[in-house]
Structure 1
Amino acid sequence: MCAAESTFALYEHRAGTTTVIRLCGEIDIHAALVLGPRAEQLTGELPDVLVDLSAVTFLDVGGLRLLARMRDRAQDRGLELRFVRGTAQVMRVFRMTRQDSSYTFVDRLPPGQGEDEDRPPGLVTVP
């Protein structure tokens, strides 16, 4: 679920001891500036963080920098941070910058980590 009227969005929810962050749309320098403070705050609230990149349509160096800050913050706090793989285009950015081995990727959301249907996820977005 991503907001069609926005260029980018961040949805969040909790599943047990895991914070699930779903990034959507174009994660570029502008998105990183807007979404960054909340994304970095979420990287530290629970011991396990899962960032879903499957709905990201574009990723540039600014977006990659945001993900690196989240990764570094989690490592500094001794937290587990994993990323759900994005599209081939998004994953190409990781490979081209030789960052693919610096992240822990999973192919999809593990069972029980999807959105809670009883309450809407949190959303940070800019139209």
Structure 2
Amino acid sequence: MTSLGPIPTFEVAVERREKTLVATPAGELDLATAPQLLAALRAHDDYERLVIDLRSLSFMDSSGLRLLVSERDRAVAGGYELRLVRGGAEIGRLLRLTRLDEKLPFVEAEEV
């Protein structure tokens, strides 16, 4: 019997800063874990700004990309501001390849 290695973990930390909600997903954002991030976001309301900090992600697939695009559209429709903090090199590469780095509202961590 071969070992497939450790099962990747995924966690979402959510912090309220007055009228700003900061969500920090950590681990692999994919088909299996995107609903967990979505549930964490939907558990909160009454914010004027949503920040999703991608720096703790080690991997993201198309499910994660879809979630980010959906959140951008939801922010426009809902009248709140969305800010995304850029992730590491692999996440950045994925965003550049899909050109979403040009279409989503990215900010530097200091701007949060």
Q: CA, structure 1 residues 12+95, in 2 after alignment: closer, same or farther (shift >3 Å)?
A: same
How many Å apart are 1:41 and its aligned residue? 4.8
Quick one: distance in 2 between partners of 1:80 and 1:22?
A: 16
Say whether the 8 Å CA contact 1:26–1:57 is kept in structure 2. yes
Q: Residue deviations 1:19-74, cap 9 Å, x none?
A: 011111100111112332332454x5301111110101101101111111111111
SS at match of 1:30: coil
Quick one: distance in 2 between partners of 1:94 and 1:79?
A: 23
Say whether the 8 Å CA contact 1:19–1:45 is kept in structure 2. no
Quick one: distance in 2 between partners of 1:70 and 1:100?
A: 15
Quick one: distance in 2 between partners of 1:102 and 1:7?
A: 29
SS at match of 1:34: helix
**Higher Cα radius of gyration:** 2
The residue aligned with 2:92 is 91
**Greater relative CO (CA pairs within 8 A, separation 6+):** 1
Q: CA RMSD in A?
A: 1.9
Structure 1 unmatched runs, 5+: 114-127
Count of residue pairs brought into register by the alignment: 106
- Percent of aligned pairs with the same amino acid: 36
Q: Give the residue type in structure 1 aligned to 2:73.
A: D
The residue aligned with 2:16 is 14
Quick one: distance in 2 between partners of 1:84 and 1:35?
A: 15
Structure 2 unmatched runs, 5+: 1-6
TM-score normalised by structure 2 residue count: 0.84
Quick one: distance in 1 between partners of 2:110 and 2:29?
A: 20
